[in-house]
Chains A and B, each alone.
Chain A
Amino acid sequence: MSALEFDRVSFTYAGASSPVLLGASLEVPEGAFALLVGATGSGKSTLLRLAKPEISPVGDLVGDVRALGESVRTLDPLASARAVGYVFQNPDAQMVCDTVWHEMAFGLENLGVPEREMRRRVAECCNFLGIEPWFRMRTAELSGGQRQVLALASALVMRPRVLLLDEPTSMLDPLAEKNFLALLFRANRELGITVVVATHTPAPMLDYATCALALEGGAARGVPLAELASWSHDIACVSGTFDPRFGAESARNSRSHAAIAADDVWYRYGRDGRWVLRELDLAAGEGEVRAIVGSNGCGKSTLLTVLAGMLRPARGRVRNAAAASQALLPQSPKALLSRETVIDELMEWSRAGGYGRAEAGAALGRLGLAGAAERHPYDLSGGQQQLLALEKLLLVRPRLLLLDEPTKGLDRAARERVARRLISTRDEGTTILVATHDTGFVRAVADSVSLMFDGGVTVTEPTDEFFANSWLW
């Protein structure tokens, strides 16, 4: 029996003119670890949601979707919750309760599982995933990796036979991603749960996957895993014209010529908090693209905020020659999106940036959103929101650009587009600092790389040298 089966399925969102799925047929055998790949907006999330009737999108569905041999149209919410688990992309938005134990028990409480059985399931799931040490912690205190493991645990504790995951590792650093995938693999092999993962970066999952499907033009086709192996995480190298005289070496040797420099910076949130930044030294030259890498929670985002002057260091100092002409892209693009339409969003800073509707229209074209000018920014996909926020910043031509995970949730084509855009911005003399986990993107755009650890910058090297010397990255 197939765990999941789509038979000539077409789906059109309510109000949309064209279908997102068009005659998609696929079959995932029981016990498989299946990858669902495709570009941003290709319909991966829609396809997964259609297999879960309680969260399926509103629109016209043609064809038959079957989960464990039963049509999902006849599945009531209770049966669906028991049979099919779902893990969402954003670990923050899917947390319902404020403590780990309560989050794990939430689904079982909804299913009316008796307390004795609930205790057993929670205990076993905690043992299986190694959650016991943080069982009584508050969800707000967990790291990004722990949150996503908790999301997995909250689904597994209900003992589903099929587990659907929508871009579950897109917000994790490489190490947290490997840990998460290892747990997912164990659930697949040891518990026999069928796993279907939608992703546009399949490379880290190839060791675990048993089959793969690609969504293209609304249709699904089987893809040999060997073919996906050639989908390297790296993106095409975008050559630049960076002048090393103004780069990392020069900045290290002569801090007075750096566009931005931090000397012995210490920072912590609250008097009794741990030091997030300590003894941090960093200098970036004018027209340099500097990548800042490090694990989740190592202080990359805090560093960008301190460099932008929005947090005052407890000790040390920051010298920023471009303080009057800088821009910051936060991890969540929603912190920048404040207007009712996409075009209004791009025009918000037109007076200060000295540009008009023509430039904004050209930017829409670059984003591939020429037909979406009057849509609300929140109606765009997560990746499109990210691109829109970045383009909004680039339109005002800042001299210093601080980017926090700019490629989060983007597919390969979009990442390449961002890389090209940043290189052209750098060539105009803008200094760019990028905090990211995306090593492929770093290889393509960065002139130098700084590795953060224990609150400080452990090493800064030119990109090629950094990767040549690195054991991990």
Chain B
Amino acid sequence: MAPGRPIPFGSLHAVVPATLLAGTTLLSMLAVQPVHVVLSLVGALSFSLLVRGVRATARGLAWQLPLLALVCLANPFFSASGSTLLLKVGPRSVYAESLACGATMGALMVAVVLWFEGAATVLTQDRLLALSPGRARSLPVVVSMASQLVPQMLGRARTVRATLGACTAAGERGGLRDQLVRTSTMLLSWSLEDSVERADAMRARGWESGMSRTCYRLERFRGRDAAALAGIAGLLALCAACAWTTCASWRFYPTMSGIGPWWAYLPWTVLVALPGLASVVDRFPAVDRFPGSNCQPVGVDSLTRGICQPRADCQRNGGRP
């Protein structure tokens, strides 16, 4: 995610975006129907552009679009069905329906990957850990330590290699195998040594003290989270029902038919647009409750009555900010 950009759904408990994105991704995987897939792809692409930025999305598309094209072009060779013959490649016939089915499958894969990438940006490790069950109170600590270990070891491997490389007075570095063995041995010893000190640091702060661990949660589940969750659950249920109808009526072969009524796609359109819309909304500052004033409200009473007391600098300037 681009630095400094507000986190979408930052004002809601993590369970809300997790439910929305998990539900959307799951339905996207199950609804293999061109209109659903196209809408899902557009929603996922706009969500990715908004939360990950243009550069990161473009880097992803650089391998995702060729993958889409590959699946699209390969499908006629595995499923030579359809009624609209486009061309013949040797003994194989290529039908428009078969190509469309391949394009749908490829687009579905890309859409799902984009949803996952966007979700990984929005649901940071902290927020995901907030969803861990109450009984698994040590899980956040274990995950937290494990997530530090890999980057730390990679960083140390770079330091070890750079140090050895910089010591040219020590002669030849040896073969690749020798270097790998040397580096891995050093990293292992280093990590084991660190783990002894870290274990001491943990025990010094009450780890294994015999008490049942409690859990500090950065986010609290509030009424508005429950309302949002209920709304999303309802929308997901509606989408599932509509998708069931449209997917049941749709046929790729022998001719593409059974697209269903237009209104059946409305809930799905709202669902796939929701993550992107939420990230757009989060970019705009809250509406100023005291337009035209730079003065700070004082106390709850003044908030409810819309009264504010001038700051010292306001008083000096005759009330002007």
Contacts and interface: CB of A to CB of B under 8 A. Distances in A.
B45 interface: no
Given A77-B210, A81-B205, A158-B206, A305 B166 contact: yes
A97 B145 contact: yes
B224 interface: no
Interface in B239-283: none
Contact-residue size bin, chain B (C-beta under 8 Å from the other chain)? 35 or more
B206 A310 contact: no
B169 A110 contact: no
B213 A109 contact: yes
A326 B168 CA distance: 5
Nearest to A397: B169
A36 B208 CA distance: 29
Nearest to A106: B205
B160 A310 contact: no
Nearest to B185: A338
A140 B151 contact: yes
Q: Mostly helix, strand, loop or mixed at chain B's interface?
A: helix
Given A109-B216, A111-B209, A140-B151, A97 B144 contact: yes
Contacts of A326: 166-169
B205 A154 contact: yes
Nearest to A332: B159
Given A52-B204, A55-B204, A353-B169, A338 B182 contact: yes
Contacts of B185: 338
B197 A335 contact: no
Given A324-B168, A349-B170, A102 B203 contact: no
B200 A88 contact: yes
Given A93-B194, A97-B144, A98-B148, A327 B169 contact: yes
Contacts of B168: 323-327, 398
A374 interface: no
Contacts of A399: 169
Nearest to A325: B169
A373 interface: no
A472 to B, nearest CB: 30
B210 A396 contact: no
Given A88-B197, A97-B145, A330 B207 contact: no
Nearest to A337: B186
Interface stretch (A112-120, A233-241, A286-294, A357-365): A112-120
Contacts of A468: none
B211 A111 contact: yes
B313 interface: no
Nearest to B199: A55
A353 B190 CA distance: 26
Contacts of A94: 197-198, 201
Contacts of B214: 108-109, 112-115, 118
Nearest to B138: A109
Given A88-B197, A97-B141, A334 B186 contact: yes
Contact of A335 (B156, B170, B216): B156
A77 B206 contact: yes
A105 interface: yes
A96 B159 contact: no
Interface string A124-161: 00000000000010011000000000000011001000
A328 interface: yes
A335 B159 contact: yes
Nearest to B189: A378
Given A55-B200, A88-B197, A96-B144, A112 B213 contact: yes
Interface in A364-404: 378, 393, 396-399, 402
A112 B206 CA distance: 9
A203 B182 CA distance: 41
A78 B211 contact: yes
A57 to B, nearest CB: 10
A122 interface: yes
Contacts of B203: 54-55, 77
Interface in B173-195: 182, 185-186, 189-190, 193-194
Contacts of B200: 55, 88
Nearest to A333: B163
B269 to A, nearest CB: 35
A341 interface: no
A414 B190 CA distance: 24
A338 B186 contact: yes
Contact of A155 (B147, B182, B205, B207): B205
Contact of B216 (A93, A118, A349): A118
A28 to B, nearest CB: 18
Nearest to B193: A378
B304 interface: no
Given A140-B148, A335-B156, A110 B186 contact: no
B19 interface: no
A352 B172 contact: yes
Interface in B134-153: 137, 140-141, 144-145, 147-148, 151
B202 interface: yes
A155 B200 CA distance: 13
A399 B201 CA distance: 41
Given A98-B148, A305-B162, A352-B172, A77 B208 contact: yes
Q: What are the 8 A-B residue pairs with the smallest beta carbon separation, nearest first?
A: A352-B171, A110-B206, A105-B216, A107-B205, A81-B206, A308-B166, A112-B211, A328-B166
Given A95-B148, A398-B168, 5 more contacts: A78-B211, A86-B201, A98-B145, A112-B212, A336-B167
16 contacts: A93-B197, A96-B205, A97-B140, A109-B216, A112-B213, A115-B216, A115-B217, A136-B126, A325-B168, A326-B167, A334-B190, A349-B167, A349-B170, A352-B172, A378-B189, A398-B168
